[in-house]
Structure 1
Amino acid sequence: AAVLAELRTGDPDRPLADIALDAGPEPRPATAGRPCTITEVFAEQAARRGPAPAVSGDDRSFTYAELAARAERFAAGLRSRGIRPGDRVGIVHERGAELVALLLGVLRAGAVYVPLDPAYPRRRLTYITEDAGLALVVTDEIAAGLPADGEVPAGLAGPDDPAYVIYTSGSTGRPKGVVVPHRNVVDLVSGTAEDFGFGDTDVWTWFHSVAFDFSVWEIWGPLLTGGRVVVVPEWTRRSPDEFAALLRDEGVTVLNQTPSSFTQVIETQRRRFDDLPLRLVVFGGEPLDTFALLPWFDRYPETRCRLVNMFGITETTVHVTSQTVTRADALAGSRSVGQAIPGWEVHVVDTRGRRLPPGVPGEIAVGGAGLAHGYLGRPDLTAQRFVTDRVTGRRRYLSGDLGRLLPDGCLEHLGRLDSQVKLRGYRIELDEIRKALLAGPGVVAAAVVLAAPGTAEARLDAYVVTGGPDDEPDLAALRARAAAVLPGYMVPSTFTAVPALPLTVNGKLDEAALPEPVLGGAPVAEATGDAGVVLAAWRSVLGPAIGPDDHFFDSGGNSLLAAKTLAALRDAGLTVGIRDLYGHPTPRLLAAHLAGPPAQKEAQP
């Protein structure tokens, strides 16, 4: 109909190739209300919910009134350090209730927070500090002496002023900062609150890194709707049993998880039934295998706990679409991520930017309330990705994701158009890793691929080509070099030397022709006693080539596989916890530790 109307009444000199094939659905209106900042909405909640609990963590807990007062003192301290509205403040602080107050204090001072994960390599932290032009970097030690008394004027930031800058992986080898204003976060929460029923009785978990934009939803979602945030301690994040106990004991009602992480929750519920109080689980960060949810539905039917799959991007403020997942969807293996949330709009476009009709795959383009200002200090890249819709004249973001619209207006996500992948929720440019490997001595070619995507076994495999046939690559040194430059989630699990990278007839990497990476070292003789039990458990998860001195995380292990290994060890009758595995990361070390005095072993939940 849209094409016919254009042919009948449009510009007769317009080329046929420029006619949009589909006008697309109109965006659902956002929740009505005056433009607000994060701090203004929180202040309204603090005035209404003063004595109610706002955030609790291992370090301390705050009521709404206490959190507001603590943030005010942080804001006063920042202003006494010379921080002014619009300044960017780096935050390198352990996750906890105090960090929530610090983030709120930065916003209250009219400044912009730039979260930095303390686990990042020093070189990456240095790069972001310089690229962002940070006026101040607040560490745990600095934060301890920061609070001060003093007047902090109101209205230091407006709805369109930046609230935070989160850095994402970059294809050029340099991370890029995404600048997001206050208005977007407020619109995200207000646009979903009615449908999801957010309110005073909700208890949310803050599970993810503050440098991962899922944390924006986990922190401000509850605090802007009167709920409570439970900060999940780092070791609890890594232990499925401890995490399940926390969900039960804290009465958590709203859980946000990447699909990979949720596999641990499902596995825990298979082994022990905790009668969790969850009413809503939101998935994001990576594609969801809906079929894998069937065991959950067996325990928690749809009438008891609602599961929602959300598609989103840092550049469009965390979430874009939502789809309630039913048992029928799981049985059908649905890949739908639903329709745009109120205030957002989604289209699928071709290479010329024209909208495509339902059923035709193309690039996912996002418009509406959630669009970021752009990339910090990268006007060319901003102009390339944030473009003007030729039909509506409105701004939209070209996501680089492949998708197609269904006849009912829902979106199917079909993967990426480039080398970007998602691993346990993190958005990773494979080219950034490849460039880091190519900087290694003697490396003339490199490739990185994602193996077993969407599963607990998902990992990054690296393949390198050295200068000549007689060059023997030092793969351990190459791994160490990568770990010094890249955050842990971007360091490949395996490194394999190859004489050349296999190519297709079109000259592209032929992933199917790459050799199977070897996890661990050469096969060894079976050990006996507890050492044999430990080695057998590791091999059952990481593969038969694992030897007694192979490092768990250098052999393809990750936090999800660590949970599987612990379950295998416990099934074999050993008393072992997550700290034991991380502190003794080879079978020989772990077996020796478990054979030591009981006082050396961590207490089990």
Structure 2
Amino acid sequence: MLTSSPRPSGWEPAGPLGEPALPPDAGTIHGAFLHRAQTSPDATAVVHAGERLSYRQLADRATAYATGLQHSGVRPGDRVAVRMHRSADLIALLLGIMAAGAAYVPIDHSTPTARARQVIEDCAPALTVTDRPPADEQLPGRTLHPTALHPTAPPAPALPPLPDDAPAYLIYTSGSTGRPKGVVVPHRNVLALVRATAPGLGLGPDQVWSWFHSVAFDFSVWEIWGCLTTGGRLVVVGEEARTCAADFTALILAEGVTVLSQTPTAFAGLMGTLLAAADTVPVRTVVFGGERLDTRGLLPWLELLPPPACRLVNMFGITETTVHVTWQLVGRAEALDGSPSVGHPLPGWNVQVVDRDRRPLPPGESGEIAVGGAGLATGYWNRPDLTAERFAPCPVTGSRRYYSGDLGRLLPDGRLEHLGRLDEQVKLRGFRIELGDIRSALLGDDSIAAAAVVLHRPVPGDGALDRLDAYVVAEPGREETARTVRARLTDLLPDYMLPATVTLLPALPLTANGKLDTTALPRPATTPAAPPVLSADNTAPETDGTARLVHDSWSRVLGAPAGPDVNFFDAGGNSLLAARLAAHLRTAGLAHTRIKDVLLAPTPAALTRRLTPTTT
């Protein structure tokens, strides 16, 4: 059975249906943006750290970048890699790249150099733009600082119109062989996404969006271009606010953010601070994506901010199908039911659930989710075999579809239930991760004979506690420790792919068929617990009050105490848990604790020293 996009019951347009969200002749992302710059030049386009750019100013800056890129040799059809911090200038550069006829290839600024090299070597960009000193990057090919693109020469000749099927961006996702794969998405897909969602979500010039996610995560495509092509105002969320719920809430309130896009895990950490200001919260739409949503956790929000005051929209999507595929309004009934429904397909998209032979299954039977329609990517960059395998015709209709590897089930009313993954790909805090990618990095060292990686969810519904656990077997005669193994990975993998624990084993457990037996893997090895250090006569030193608060809060957040010199992140911590630890310490009486304190002082002893008031 194929389900397409009848408007779900109760789903009415969120705003007045005046002018279309995009001009009918808009064929490119930058073209749709320039239309807004021409019709509302003085409207605010982007806000970041005190800087406010109008649509005219952003368009002028983008045009300057396009000219600089052309004078630097960038031609239509090229790719330009970008490794910069989140800023208004980054948005101008992305627009400039597209206006020059090229596709942007985003690389998060925190990505290790080895991983960045893999992406650049694979996509062969005309150049890489980085806001770090280019000489320090040690990346292949031409590398320029954005200031080198400020044109001193006259404007370059106008380019012919770019076709709507030209690539707009390549976003790299984790690959099971250890080699990341680039998904090529054309301009028309992004515009189709905006046209499909604008009436239902009321997208337009009166909306204020937050840009929270990494530019290398396709949720950012929705946040940036969904806003700027419909005339909205985009609020760039800085690194400090991204990791502190109180600071992010303050930014939302100050800027009047109305459209908030979040992974469920991130929203769980933000919801409490927003609800504390429920009477003044400006948010009118929360869009969830990136990972499975447990709707039961939204009941407190729905009690204080029920529809139509604020609408919660659960959207299932895949990078290969242009960010979003389906949408589901979440009300009190859905939250009480805890349904895994992700709703109906967007207008222009369609969904099937298929068996192992890729033949459609009837409602109620589970199988692989296959997606067709307006969002299908061009394919994988320079990977024709993989493209042919995953983007293939339906054996019944012959229409092109993307076979996702996700497990799902159609309901009789055409809604889709998302039930997880069919393979080793997992989602952790919004990031798609191939466990085989991490395993490949482990096995890349000649001292490791075998390795396995599993996703551990100790408390269902609490994504902050989810973690990756690695198990390794050393080559005979080689001495290895968990610390040295993990240290090597930090040079190869981004933070979100680093295992929280590394356990050394004499051998991996196997099933009778010779496959890894994940059920027989032992409990992960963690750092031995120890109480806070006391003085020689067993009395508390002057810092013991703070030490006790740190120790108790640490134990509550991580579920186990630790010695004074144990690193928070080596003990299973992550940025979300660091935010939770800071919040717990503030509640316990250390009112000025911020997440940066945990990041800069990640052991109990160091954190105690940092938080202990100094006396003069």
> What TM-score, normalized to structure 2?
0.90
Tell me how far 1:27 sits from its aligned partner: 5.3
Residue 406 of structure 1 and its aligned partner are, at CA, apart by: 0.4
Aligned to 1:12: none
Distance 1:366 1:358 in 2: 16
* Partner secondary structure for residue 212 of structure 1: coil
Give the 3-state SS of the residue equivalent to 1:422 in structure 2: strand
CA distance in 2, matches of 1:346, 1:35: 26
Specify the code of the residue in structure 2 equivalent to 1:188: L
For the residues of structure 2 that align with 1:153 and 1:312, how far apart are their CA atoms?
Answer: 36
Distance 2:400 2:494 in 1: 33
Give 2:491's match in structure 1, choosing from 484, 487, 495.
484
Equivalent in 362, 369, 378 of residue 357 of structure 1: 362
Task: Indicate how the Cα distance of structure 1 residues 154 and 191 shifts in structure 2: closer, same or farther if over 3 A, else same.
Answer: farther
1:34, CA displacement in angstroms?
4.1
C-alpha distance in 1, partners of 2:593/2:407? 43
The alpha-carbon distance between structure 1 residues 391 and 31, as it changes in their structure 2 partners (threshold 3 A), is farther
The C-alpha deviation readout for 1:373-424, integer Å capped at 9, x for no partner, is 1000100000000001233322110001010110000000111110000011
Matched residue, 1:10:
none
Report matched runs for 1:80-91 at 5 Å.
80-91=71-82
SS of aligned partner of 1:485: coil
Q: Distance in 1 between matches of 2:288 and 2:549?
A: 36
**2:606 pairs with one of 584, 589, 598:** 589
**1:413 corresponds to:** 418
Match of 1:445 in 2: 450
Q: Confirm or deny that 1:66 pairs with 2:57.
A: yes
Q: Report the alpha carbon displacement of residue 536 of structure 1 after superposing the two structures with TM.
A: 1.6
Matched, 1:577 2:594: yes
* C-alpha deviation, 1:507, in angstroms: 3.6
**Which residue of the other structure, out of 284, 290, 304, is the alignment partner of 1:285?**
290
Deviation (angstroms), 1:156: 4.5
Task: State how far apart, in whole Å, the 2-side matches of 1:59 and 1:102 are.
Answer: 19
Which residue does the alignment assign to 1:423?
428
Residue 573 (structure 2) aligned to one of 557, 566, 584:
557
Q: Are the aligned partners of 2:554 and 2:561 in contact in 1 as well (CA < 8 Å)?
A: no
Q: 1:143 and 2:146 equivalent?
A: yes
Partner AA of 2:48 in structure 1: G
CA distance in 1, matches of 2:393, 2:362: 19
Q: Is the 8 A contact 2:21 2:230 kept in 1?
A: no
Q: Is the contact between residue 532 and residue 551 of structure 2 (CA under 8 Å) also seen in structure 1?
A: no
Is residue 2:37 matched to residue 1:46?
A: yes
- Give, as a single letter, the amino acid of the residue that structure 2 aligns with 1:487: P
SS in 2 for 1:331: helix
- Offset of residue 537 of structure 1: 1.1
* Equivalent residue, structure 2, for 1:463: 471
Distance, in Å, in 2 between the alignment partners of 1:274 and 1:442 is 58
Residues 445-485 of structure 1 show CA distances to partners (whole Å, capped at 9, x for unaligned) of 211111116521111111112234x7542211110111111
Q: 1:204 aligns with which of 209, 229, 233?
A: 209
Query: Contact between 1:420 and 1:428, CA under 8 Å: does it hold in 2?
Result: yes
What residue number does 1:110 align with? 101
Distance 1:210 1:414 in 2: 27
1:338 paired residue number = 343
The equivalent position to 1:474 in structure 2, one of 473, 481, 487, is 481
Which string of whole-angstrom CA distances, capped at 9 and with x for unpartnered residues, describes residues 491-547 of structure 1?
Answer: 111111122222334443333332222443343456522122112211111132422
Residue 324 of structure 1 deviates from its aligned partner by 0.5
- 1:542 pairs with 2:547: no
Residue 370 of structure 1, aligned match among 365, 375, 398: 375
Distance 2:28 2:6 in 1: 22
Task: Please report how far the alpha carbon of residue 152 of structure 1 lies from its aligned counterpart in structure 2 after TM superposition.
Answer: 5.0
| CA positional deviation for 1:146 | 1.1
- Which amino acid is the alignment partner of residue 563 of structure 2? G
Match of 2:3 in 1: 25
Unmatched 5+ stretches in structure 1? 1-21, 600-605
Alpha carbons 2:21, 2:204 under 8 Å: kept: no
Query: 2:90 is paired with a residue of what secondary structure?
Result: helix
| Superposed counterparts of 1:148-547, under 5 Å | 148=151, 149-151=154-156, 153-269=158-274, 273=278, 275-452=280-457, 454=461, 455-468=463-476, 472-525=479-532, 528-547=544-563
SS of the equivalent of 2:442 reads helix
Deviation at residue 288 of structure 1 after TM alignment: 0.4
Mapped partners of 1:448, 1:580: distance in 2: 30
Alpha carbons of structure 1 residues 332 and 412: separation in structure 2 relative to 1, 3 Å: same
| Structure 2 Cα separation of the partners of residues 582 and 155 of structure 1 | 49
- Between the aligned partners of 2:532 and 2:126, the Cα distance in structure 1 is 57
CA contact (8 A) 1:83 1:109 kept: yes
CA deviation after TM superposition for structure 1 residue 160, in Å? 0.3
Q: Could you tell me whether the CA contact under 8 Å between 1:108 and 1:156 is conserved in 2?
A: no
Once the two structures are aligned, what percentage of the paired residues are identical? 55
CA contact (8 A) 1:518 1:545 kept: no
Amino acid at match of 2:77: G
Give the AA of the match of 1:387. A
Please tell me whether the aligned partners of residues 31 and 187 of structure 1 are also in contact (alpha carbons under 8 angstroms).
no
Deviates more, 1:134-143 or 1:206-215: 134-143
CA distance in 1, matches of 2:380, 2:280: 44
Is 108-117 or 52-61 further displaced after alignment?
52-61
Cα distance 1:191–1:226, how it changes in 2: closer, same or farther (>3 A)? same
**Alpha-carbon distance in structure 1 between the residues aligned to 2:102 and 2:299:** 45
- The residue type paired with residue 172 of structure 2 is Y
Q: Per the alignment, do residues 487 and 473 of structure 1 end up closer, same or farther by CA in structure 2, a change over 3 Å counting?
A: same
The 1:314–1:76 alpha-carbon spacing in structure 2 relative to 1, beyond 3 Å, is same
> SS at 1:185's partner residue?
helix
C-alpha root-mean-square deviation of aligned residues, in Å? 2.0
TM-score (structure 1 length as normaliser): 0.92
State how far apart, in whole Å, the 2-side matches of 1:507 and 1:205 are: 49
Kept in 2, the 8 Å contact 1:45–1:225? The answer is yes
- Give a deviation string over 1:552-601, Cα, whole Å, max 9, x none: 112111121112101211122112112211111111111111225499xx
**Alpha-carbon distance in structure 2 between the residues aligned to 1:55 and 1:321:** 28
Q: Is 2:120 the counterpart of 1:129?
A: yes
Give secondary structure in 2 for the equivalent of 1:110.
Answer: coil
Equivalent residue, structure 1, for 2:540: none
Which residue type is aligned with residue 409 of structure 2? Answer: R
Distance 1:300 1:409 in 2: 28
Following the alignment from structure 1 to structure 2, what is the Cα–Cα distance between the partners of residues 241 and 35?
A: 39
Q: Deviations over 1:337-356 (max 9, x none)?
A: 01110111110111111111
Which residue identity does 1:281 align to in structure 2? V
2:538 aligns to what?
A: none
Q: Which of 67, 77, 80 is matched with 2:68 structurally?
A: 77
The alignment partner of 2:607 has SS state of helix
**Segment drifting more, 479-488 vs 135-144:** 135-144
Does 422-431 or 581-590 show the bigger shift?
581-590
How far apart are residue 59 of structure 1 and its match? 6.8
Query: Contact 1:59 / 1:98 at 8 angstroms: preserved in 2?
Result: no
Q: Distance in 1 between matches of 2:328 and 2:450?
A: 42
Structure 2: tracts of 5 or more residues without a match = 8-19, 133-144, 535-543
Question: SS state of the match for residue 392, structure 2?
Answer: strand
For residue 155 of structure 1, report the CA deviation from its aligned partner: 3.9
The answer on whether the counterparts of 1:72 and 1:152 sit within 8 Å (CA) in structure 2 is: no
